[in-house]
Amino acid sequence: MPQTAESAPIVHCCQRCGACCRWEGDVKVSADEISAIAAYLGMEEQDFIERYCRLRRDRRGLSLIDAADGACIMLTPEGCRIQAVKPQQCIDFPQRWNFPGWEKLCPGAGKSAPQA
Write out the residue range of the structural domain in which residue 36 sits: 26-92
Per-residue pLDDT of the chain (116 residues; tens, 9 = 90+): 343 445 566 676 777 788 788 877 789 999 999 999 999 999 999 999 999 999 998 999 999 999 999 999 999 999 999 999 999 999 887 777 777 877 778 777 766 665 55
Q: Is residue 2 part of a domain?
A: no
Q: Is residue 78 part of a domain?
A: yes
Whether the bond between 94 and the residue before it is cis, its omega within 30 degrees of 0, is yes
pLDDT of residue 108: 72
Q: How many domains does the chain have?
A: 1
Q: Is residue 42 part of a domain?
A: yes
Q: Is residue 103 part of a domain?
A: no
pLDDT of residue 113: 63
Other Cβ atoms less than 10 A from the Cβ of 72: the count is: 23
Q: How far apart are CA 81 and CA 44, in angstroms?
A: 17
Q: How far apart are CA 64 and CA 51, in angstroms?
A: 9
